[in-house]
């Protein structure tokens, strides 16, 4: 730290992104990326946009917004595109939290929430998940805080039914409830249909997972137009050009090819069933995931050791050190071929330990 670094950030504990190692070719099942390339349309549109990179991108993302609004059946003023959904989440912390509106989220959830809260100097409460890692909606009833719920949750993969989200929304009319739907396209119910019913609902989604654009950084916030206006106030006070022109074009390309996204999601859901069934045969227990990852532990094999042994063998999964979940690993659902390599290695590691 330099002697110039502002004291207000000196104690900041930064978010640790999943490893992106370059030392060898890994079977990469650690950061919940799609194993499939972006749609050919996305690549074609992005390449065309690259021809005009001397110009600033459209800060309003007008064409992308129109395409999205049409596909999702919402108004163009009910969505805001951002640099990944992380950007939208940060905006939401900035716009809707302060000393009078502290944040509340689960103790086991997306690790960026406490970092965004600390960055923006927002007090926050971490609400323990139940023993089985499900959210107890009762804990959020009338909580009178700005609520962040990843639905499905990460890294557990467990989804909260929409009726429980509605109970939380109804009981906190003076606070915004942010539903982070980064993984919603793999089988869970989206709250987007409720944005006109609840003026305190803000949904975030991403093109990083189901639409294979993690490297493009495209996310969005979806809500009634007043909440979107508030986020725009933050955006235009920080970086109006937060979504570059190639990414805007790639997003439009993706939206013209919804069949491709749906086909990939269907494959991931099938592969998830295959992976969980095979892990069960190897003695693992896992949560009931509705995402593109599986959260699993072996009753007699240390989680961190399994992560390390797999890495040595060229297979990357994600291990978290937090006490409650340190026995688990989060495994991204890859292609069938990737899953078979993972399973073969796990089997060998388990056999060697006997
Ligand atoms: N929410 C959750 C729960 C996530 O796991 C992630 C991915 N790390 C994000 C949001 C952010 O994803 P992105 O910024 O790529 O849209």
Structure confidence at residue 262 (pLDDT): 98
Task: Kindly report the backbone phi and psi dihedral angles of residue 178, in degrees, each rounded to the nearest multiple of 5, phi listed first.
Answer: -100, 120
Nearest Cα neighbor of 64 from 254, 214, 192 is 254
| Claim: this prediction has a pTM higher than 0.85 | yes
What pLDDT sits at residue 19? 86
**CB of 293 closer than 6 angstroms to any ligand 1 atom:** no
Pair (59, 31) in one structural domain: no
Domain CATH code at residue 26 = 3.90.1150.10
Please calculate the CA angle 96-229-124 and round it to the nearest 5 degrees. 10
pLDDT along the chain (354 residues), means of 10: 95 91 90 98 98 98 98 98 98 98 98 98 98 98 98 98 98 98 98 98 98 98 98 98 98 98 98 98 98 97 97 96 96 98 98 88
Atom of ligand 1 nearest to the CA of 214: 15
Number of the ligand 1 atom closest to the C-alpha atom of 208: 15
- Pairing state of beta strands 315-316 and 293-297? unpaired
Same-domain pairing of 137 and 196: yes
214 lines ligand 1 (CB under 6 A): yes
What's the CATH number where 180 sits?
Answer: 3.40.640.10
Instruction: Name the residue at shortest CA distance from atom 1 of ligand 1.
Output: 182
Closest Cα to atom 7 of ligand 1: 182
Indicate whether 222 and 338 sit together in one domain: no
For β-strands 103-106 and 79-82, DSSP reports them as unpaired
As for how many domains the chain has, the answer is 2
Q: Let me know if residue 193 belongs to a domain.
A: yes
Looking at the CA of residue 219, tell me the nearest atom of ligand 1: 16
pLDDT in tens, 175-216: 999 999 999 999 999 999 999 999 999 999 999 999 999 999
Is 154 close to ligand 1, i.e. is its CB under 6 Å away?
A: yes
- Bridge partners of residue 127, in order along the sequence: 106
pLDDT of residue 340: 98
Structure confidence at residue 21 (pLDDT):
86
* Cβ atoms < 10 Å from Cβ of 102: 17
Task: Report pLDDT for 61.
Answer: 98
The pick from 30, 83, 84 for probing ligand 1's pocket by mutation, whose C-beta has the most ligand atoms within 8 angstroms, reads 84
Is 1 a member of any domain?
no
pLDDT (tens digit per residue) in 24-70? 899 999 999 999 999 999 999 999 999 999 999 999 999 999 999 99
The answer to whether residues 251 and 271 belong to one domain is no
Give CA separation, 143 vs 37, 125, 176, 285, in Å.
42, 10, 11, 33
Are residues 26 and 72 both part of a single domain? no
204 CA distance to ligand 1 middle (Å): 9
pLDDT computed for residue 349 by the predictor: 97
353 Cα–ligand 1 center, Å: 35
Statement to judge: residues 240 and 325 lie in one domain: no
Instruction: Please indicate, yes or no, whether residues 125 and 227 belong to a single structural domain of this protein.
Output: yes
Q: In the structure encoding, which two tokens stand for residue 296, read together?
A: 């699993």
Q: Are residues 264 and 343 in the same domain?
A: yes
**CB-ligand 1 contact for 150 (6 Å cutoff):** yes
Strand pairing of 219-223 and 201-206? antiparallel
98 with 172, same domain?
yes
Mean predicted lDDT score pLDDT of the chain: 97
Q: How far is the CA of 154 from the centre of ligand 1 (A)?
A: 9
Among the candidates 232, 257, 282, a domain finishes at 257
In a domain, 2, yes or no: no
- Closest atom of ligand 1 to CA, residue 83: 14
Domain that holds residue 281: 7-36+259-353
Q: Among 257, 282, 297, where does a domain finish?
A: 257
Do residues 103 and 147 share a domain? yes
| Strand, helix or coil for residue 200 | coil
Which of residues 191, 222, 257 is at a domain's end? 257
84 lines ligand 1 (CB under 6 A): yes
Residue 43 belongs to some domain of the structure: no
**CB 335 within 8 Å of CB 271:** yes
How long a stretch of residues is the chain? 354
In 3D space, the residue among 233, 169, 236, 171 whose CA is nearest the CA of residue 203 turns out to be 169
Do 103 and 219 reside in the same domain of the chain?
A: yes
pLDDT at residue number 18 = 87
CB distance 182 to ligand 1 below 6 Å: yes
CA of 318 to the centre of ligand 1 (A): 14
Distance 203 CA to ligand 1 centre (A): 13
Is residue 158 domain-shared with residue 269, that is, in the same domain? no
């Amino acid at each position: 730290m330099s002697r110039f670094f502002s004291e207000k950030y000196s104690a900041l504990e930064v978010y640790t992104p999943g490893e992106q190692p370059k030392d060898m070719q890994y079977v990469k099942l650690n950061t919940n990326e799609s194993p499939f390339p972006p749609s050919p349309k996305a690549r074609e549109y992005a390449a065309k946009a690259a021809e005009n990179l001397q110009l600033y991108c459209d800060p309003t993302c007008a064409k992308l917004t129109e395409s999205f609004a049409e596909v999702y059946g919402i108004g163009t003023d009910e969505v805001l595109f951002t640099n990944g959904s992380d950007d939208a989440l940060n905006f939401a912390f900035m716009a809707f939290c302060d000393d009078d509106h502290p944040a509340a989220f689960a103790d086991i959830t997306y690790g960026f929430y406490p970092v965004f809260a600390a960055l923006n100097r927002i007090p926050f409460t971490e609400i323990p998940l139940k023993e089985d890692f499900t959210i107890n909606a009762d804990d959020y009833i009338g909580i009178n805080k700005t609520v962040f719920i990843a639905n499905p949750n990460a890294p557990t993969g467990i989804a909260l039914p929409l009726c429980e989200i509605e109970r939380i929304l109804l009981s906190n009319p003076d606070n915004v409830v942010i539903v982070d739907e980064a993984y919603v396209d793999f089988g869970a119910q989206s709250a987007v249909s409720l944005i006109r019913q609840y003026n305190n609902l803000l949904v975030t989604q991403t093109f990083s997972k189901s639409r294979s654009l993690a490297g493009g950084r495209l996310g969005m916030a979806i809500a009634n137009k007043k909440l979107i206006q508030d986020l725009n106030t933050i955006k235009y006070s920080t970086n109006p050009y937060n979504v570059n022109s190639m990414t805007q074009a790639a997003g439009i390309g993706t939206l013209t090819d919804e069949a491709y996204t749906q086909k990939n999601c269907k494959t991931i859901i099938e592969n998830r069933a295959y992976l969980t069934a095979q892990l069960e045969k190897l003695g693992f227990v896992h949560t009931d995931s509705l995402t593109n990852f599986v959260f699993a532990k072996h009753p007699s094999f240390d989680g961190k050791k399994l992560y390390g042994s797999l890495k040595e063998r060229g297979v990357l999964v994600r291990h978290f050190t937090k006490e409650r979940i340190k026995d688990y690993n989060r495994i991204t659902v890859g292609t069938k071929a990737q899953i078979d390599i993972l399973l073969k290695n796990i089997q060998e590691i388990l056999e060697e330990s006997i």
